Chain A
Amino acid sequence: MKKTILITYVISLLSTIGLAQKQITKEGVIEIFSETSLFTIEAKNPKVASILNTENGEVVASTLVRSFKFKEALVEEHFNENYMESHKFPKAIFNGQIKNFSDINLSEDSTYPISISGKLTIHGETRDILENGELTVKNGLISANLTFNISLKNYKIEIEPNYKDRINDLIKITVHFDYKPI
């Protein structure tokens, strides 16, 4: 009996330590941007969830495709129905790691360059990515900023031939997360 209590105690202690080593956000922001001489497309998604393991730099981030909000309702409809097919693939997910996380001193307020690698799943297609960004530490709280391009072709998102001059194959993705301890 005593042993059971002890084991339970140790497990709960371990899990609290485990929790303390993670930071989370449910209000992360991702913006997408495409520009051609004919047409500019931009959208903002303020509902991105992410968890950062401050022990080893592991990162997960996920969001719902339908949470991308456009100025024009028609563009939003086309984005969901024709391109992202959000009825079939409702989510976008990233699973990876900050490679140089050991260089970051979480007790010193500063901005650190980071290199992050992992698997990005969009439109049901998973690709390996390796991108550079920035991590800012302020009073023990971490924020991450990342800007990179993805190719629509790479994720099997097709553009009809007569829209090719309106939608750039390279879409600029801007990511901003403000993490908080769990």
Chain B
Amino acid sequence: MKNKILKTLLYLFIAGLLSGIGVYLYVFHKPHRNIAMEEPAYILSAEQLTNDFEKDENSAYERYGNKTLQVSGIINDINYTKNTASITLKDGSTGVNCSFDSVSVAKIGINNLKILKVNDSVNIKGKCDGYDMIMGVVLSRCHLETKN
């Protein structure tokens, strides 16, 4: 009888400990947003996104900043480093600068990025960091949705 109570207590203790660890890990070591799995807040063309920022930077930042966007456009420039990539979508003066960190490159597969060429039409999903005079609109933690 006493044994049974002790056993139940032990199980409860272990269950409590495990959920405690779970909560701790979730709160203090929660994973980064998984852009690939997120529904985009806006689906739009690179041209429209850049125009919105060039017209009124503050209101565009309020609307798009830190949101997941899916942007379609024509590739103007591609850069690779060891394990990251960056693709600029063409349109006018600045464009949309999409950065793929090592995690997203690993997810997509570097070979799937390396087959992309200038003038290809693509859909890219990423988190909007804002707008810069030189870089244009910056999207980070990007994911390649489709190549048309």
A-to-B contact residues, CB < 8 Å? 24, 26-27, 46-47, 49-51, 62-67, 69, 72-74, 76, 80, 86-87, 90-91
Q: Is the interface of A mostly helix, strand, loop or mixed?
A: strand
B65 contacts A90, CB within 8 Å? Answer: yes
A27–B99 alpha-carbon span in the complex (Å): 10
B138 contacts A47, CB within 8 Å? Answer: yes
B86 contacts A49, CB within 8 Å? Answer: no
B30 contacts A67, CB within 8 Å? Answer: no
> What would 10 A/B residue contacts be, using CB atoms closer than 8 Å?
A46-B99, A47-B97, A47-B138, A49-B132, A62-B133, A64-B130, A64-B131, A64-B132, A72-B29, A73-B33
Interface string of B125-148 (1 = CB under 8 A from A): 001011111110010110000000
B61 contacts A90, CB within 8 Å? Answer: yes
B84 contacts A62, CB within 8 Å? Answer: no
> Given the known A-B contacts A47-B140, A66-B66, are A90 and B130 also in contact in the complex, defined by CB atoms under 8 Å?
yes
> Given the known A-B contacts A27-B79, A67-B129, A73-B31, are A47 and B99 also in contact in the complex, defined by CB atoms under 8 Å?
yes
B79 contacts A74, CB within 8 Å? Answer: no
B132 contacts A63, CB within 8 Å? Answer: yes
Is the C-beta of B6 less than 8 angstroms from some C-beta in chain A?
no
A115–B27 alpha-carbon span in the complex (Å): 44
- Beyond contacts A27-B86, A65-B130: 12 other A-B pairs, Cβ-Cβ < 8 A, are A24-B134, A26-B97, A47-B129, A49-B134, A64-B129, A66-B65, A67-B138, A67-B140, A73-B30, A76-B32, A87-B65, A91-B130
A69–B97 alpha-carbon span in the complex (Å): 16
Which chain A residue lies CB-closest to B84?
A: A46
Which chain A residue lies CB-closest to B61?
A: A90
What are the residues of chain A within 8 A of B138 when measuring CB–CB? 47, 64, 67
A92–B15 alpha-carbon span in the complex (Å): 47
Closest Cβ of chain B: how far from A148's Cβ, in Å?
22
